[in-house]
Amino acid sequence: MEKSTIIRIGVIAFFLALFAVPTVLKQLDNVDLDQMFDDRQEVIDRYGFFLEEASEELGVQFVHQRPELDKKIEHINPQIASVGASVSVVDFNNNGLPDLYFTNSEYGTKNALYMNLGDGTFRDVAEDLGIADINTDGTGVSMGAIWGDINNNGYEDLFVYKWGRPELYLNNEGTGFTRVTESAGLPDWVNANSAVWLDYNNNGLLDLFVAGYYHEDVDFWNLTTTRIMPDSYEYATNGGRNFLFENQGDGTFVDKTEELGLNTRRWTLAVAAADLNDSGYPDLVIANDYGVDELFINDGGNGFINAGESAGMGFVPKSGMSVAFGDIMNQGQLAIYVTNISEAGVLMQGNNLWVPTRRSTPEQLRFRNLAGNMGVDIGEWGYGGQFIDLNNNGNLDLYVANGFVSDEPGTDYWYDYAKVVGGNRNVIIDANNWPAMNGRTFSGYQTNKIWMNDGAGRFREVSAAVGGTLDLDSRAIAYADLDQNGSLDLIVANQNGPVKIYRNHQSGSNNWLGLKLEGTKSNRSAIGAVAILHWDGKQKKMVVSGGDAFSSQSQRSLHFGLGGHDEVDRIEIRWPSGETQEIHSPEINLVHTITEPVDA
């Protein structure tokens, strides 16, 4: 018997056998922790915070609509059209208040920019400013958005990645936006599910990485073939192109992907950038569906080196869907969290938490997956995952969005799915071979997870107790201090459903400190800047992000919880330009605006 046949039989047997496994984890999920804590104050006293859903009160009533695609794939439209709900946080008019941008994904629907009015409410101004009507016939539909100041004029510009023509808008000093897509030199069509701003060569100009998922030849509304699916369940290489566009400083971008060693064709769902080896240059972590995740180390701005295998990350194929960085042990080192799939009794890939080992050096990064050891491996069908200090105790907690396709209750598509993914390449790649969903649920009605960090290497799941329960098909998660009270609130974008915003109520006993960084030699957004806060014998590293997790971007300013400590020794800032800066004994419980010294 041929090896490929043996493998296919083994995969099928593996999936089918798992249906007989007792669903102990599902039983544990059904424990009603809400009954254990009837009083909100009791919850706050115990955990330090409580989450209250407040989207209607805030005036944010956005509902995402999924796309309806070519009738040739109508039978599996719900699973193909299962992405597109996104959220990004921006202060578009520089008034110091975080605003919220949401994408929609059906032709004719509008994206929304909710402006923070400063009185506890928001108002949608996207149409007034010219960034609502992006999902127009023949141009594709929105999958997400990221903000960055590409011309260093002090205002954040908007990039919308789509299944279709990507769109770039310049910010007219907070009064409106000018579309510059064609003049910027962007491609005509990319089926992208992620993007990130970074200054890969530290020249003070933001460059753009766009991650393709489906092949860029695929037009979902005018299919010429149904052979559009992955060519392997574990090692697919027929996905969309990834692109790195270099900012030329004159309003145009040039494709440098191949020259820099980044032109892979995996099925990328998420990408994030951070300096992981203290070289001063941003590296890239790429989460791939149907394959292994990738780590690209920046070679001094001259190119990228694929270091996934040498770092211990690029061996086990899973379904990578989100990338988040966090200094979870307050040791000045960034861990990497990648969500995957866990379905009790069916498939237990588990999420990954890549933690630097003791053998890790700047010359040779080494990571070990400690998700199981730390208790954050078994989620469900995970999408966005974000590190966030929810109670300001100084330890980064973890919020994970779950749920794939919620449809007819009591039905299940997993059995048919298992038969397809166990087939050979010619079976998997053709959408015609995929069984019709017929209204069946596919890992739906799952609750999001909140894992609290105990500061000693373990996390505890507390979502039902603290008010974070939600069984919509959640996708993107962002955080921002919406009411400027020193606690981070959560914004959750749900596929084919309403946005949910959770106001964070805290005990007030813990202190905090915020940093808003502004570049001068570096890019004005300070994306890629590293801040290390030293307090109480500990140090916490944070990076200014140009987009991370899944289809999301959180507030630009960095937020440090301090617990009960009322003093900070110093803050070390490493600017992308290579300059360093120290701030000693900063005042706590406020946001410091720090401008990169011009004469540093």
pLDDT tens, per residue, the chain with 600 residues: 443 443 444 444 444 444 433 333 333 344 444 444 458 899 999 999 999 999 999 999 999 999 999 999 999 999 999 999 999 999 999 999 999 999 999 999 999 999 999 999 999 999 999 999 999 999 999 999 999 999 999 999 999 999 999 999 999 999 999 999 999 999 999 999 999 999 999 999 999 999 999 999 999 999 999 999 999 988 999 999 999 999 999 999 999 999 999 988 999 999 999 999 999 999 999 999 999 999 999 999 999 999 999 999 987 888 899 999 999 999 999 999 999 997 766 666 889 999 999 777 778 899 999 999 999 998 889 999 999 999 999 999 999 999 999 999 999 999 999 888 878 899 999 999 999 999 999 999 999 999 999 999 999 999 999 998 888 999 999 999 999 999 999 999 999 999 999 999 999 899 999 999 999 999 999 999 999 999 999 999 999 999 999 999 999 999 999 999 999 999 999 999 999 999 999 999 999 999 999 874
In a domain, 174, yes or no: yes
Look at residue 419 and give its three-state secondary structure: helix
Same domain, 214 and 87: yes
Find how far residue 30's CA is from the centre of its chain. Answer: 27
Same domain, 130 and 219: yes
In a domain, 485, yes or no: no
In a domain, 543, yes or no: yes
Rounded to 5 degrees, what angle do the CA atoms 502, 506, 508 make? 150
Same domain, 454 and 591: no
Please count the structural domains in the chain: 2
* Token couple for 204: 């003070």
- Provide the pLDDT for residue 288: 96
**Sheet of strand 449-453: strand arrangement:** 382-388, 397-402, 449-453, 459-461
Cα-based torsion angle of the residue sequence 560, 563, 568, 569 in order, rounded to the nearest 10 degrees: -110
Same domain, 454 and 534: no
Cα–Cα distance measured from residue 433 to residue 420, given in angstroms and rounded to the nearest whole number: 7
Residue 508, number of CB atoms within 10 A of its CB: 12
Same domain, 452 and 539: no
In a domain, 413, yes or no: no
Q: Which residue range is the domain that position 561 belongs to?
A: 513-595
Same domain, 186 and 247: yes
Rounded to 5 degrees, what angle do the CA atoms 506, 507, 513 make? 65
Look at residue 163 and give its three-state secondary structure: strand
Please answer whether residues 476 and 552 qualify as being in contact, where contact means their C-beta atoms are separated by less than 8 angstroms: yes
Cα–Cα distance measured from residue 50 to residue 190, given in angstroms and rounded to the nearest whole number: 40
Name 318's Cβ contacts closer than 8 Å, sequence gap at least 6.
Answer: 292, 293, 338, 340, 341, 349, 350, 352
**Sheet of strand 591-595: strand arrangement:** 558-563, 511-518, 591-595
Indicate the residue among 398, 432, 460 that finishes a domain: 460
Q: In one letter, which amino acid is 222?
A: N
- Pairing label, strands 122-124, 112-116: antiparallel
Cα–Cα distance measured from residue 84 to residue 161, given in angstroms and rounded to the nearest whole number: 10
Quick one: what percent of the chain has pLDDT higher than 90?
A: 84
Cα–Cα distance measured from residue 282 to residue 297, given in angstroms and rounded to the nearest whole number: 8
Q: What is the pTM of this model?
A: 0.93
Indicate the residue among 460, 483, 498 that finishes a domain: 460
- Provide the pLDDT for residue 120: 96
The enclosing domain of 321 has a CATH number of: 2.130.10
Phi-psi region of 439 (alpha: psi -120 to 50; beta: other; left: phi over 0): left
- Provide the pLDDT for residue 12: 46
In a domain, 49, yes or no: no
In a domain, 289, yes or no: yes
Same domain, 451 and 518: no
Cα–Cα distance measured from residue 63 to residue 112, given in angstroms and rounded to the nearest whole number: 10
Helix ranges, 352-456 (H): 371-374, 414-421, 425-428
Residue 432, number of CB atoms within 10 A of its CB: 13
Eight-state DSSP code of residue 135: -
Same domain, 94 and 208: yes
- Pairing label, strands 112-116, 99-103: antiparallel
Indicate the residue among 437, 460, 483 that finishes a domain: 460
Same domain, 584 and 453: no
Strand partners, 505: 50
Tell which residue, 84, 101, 81, has the closest CA to residue 92. Answer: 101
Name 35's Cβ contacts closer than 8 Å, sequence gap at least 6.
Answer: none
In a domain, 496, yes or no: no
In a domain, 570, yes or no: yes
**Sheet of strand 304-306: strand arrangement:** 267-274, 283-289, 294-298, 304-306
- Provide the pLDDT for residue 468: 80
Please answer whether residues 464 and 34 qualify as being in contact, where contact means their C-beta atoms are separated by less than 8 angstroms: yes
For 152-171, letters b (16+ CB in 10 Å) and e give beebbbbbbbbbbbbbbbbb
Same domain, 452 and 584: no
Same domain, 578 and 455: no
Find how far residue 533's CA is from the centre of its chain. Answer: 24
Same domain, 324 and 246: yes
